[in-house]
Amino acid sequence: MKRNVLSVIAGAVFATGLVMAQGAGSAAPQTAQKAPEAAVTGCVIQGSSATVFILDGARLNPQDQNEKAKTYVLVAAAEDLQFKNHLNHEVRVTGVAEAKTPPTPPAGQKVAEKDLPKLTAQGVTMVADRCTTSTR
């Protein structure tokens, strides 16, 4: 009898836990916050293939030499963005950048392209016809 009572109590506790877990899961899902649009200036260089482009030496404020430059893989938000027309040019790119921090590469090596954050470009404007900001 004592065993039956303990089994019933254990079952009730288990069932209550399940109901509470389901109730928590049925709440309206939180919407993911969209990353803010930013404008960065950097140098467009060729990536690992003819269709991969990198924005190197990217800074929010290109005059601030104390700002740490970043490197992004460029992704076009629209088909009319032709990165190849800006190869080895300094450009200003507006878009949304991933907040991903790439790993630190071994001394003398560069971060692998696959580990770089992506910058989804919505606009590209040439700043100079040669690169002055490239770090690669």
Q: Is the pLDDT of residue 13 over 50?
A: no
Provide, rounded to the nearest whole percent, the portion of the chain with pLDDT above 70: 71
The CATH number of the domain covering residues in 37-128: 2.40.50
pLDDT of residue 104: 87
24-65 pLDDT tens trace: 444 444 444 556 788 999 999 999 999 999 999 999 998 888
The residue ranges of every structural domain in the chain are 37-128
CA dist list (Å): 119 to 17, 86, 133: 44, 16, 17
pTM for the predicted model, two decimal places: 0.71
Asked whether the CA dihedral 112, 128, 96, 82 is positive or negative, the reply is negative
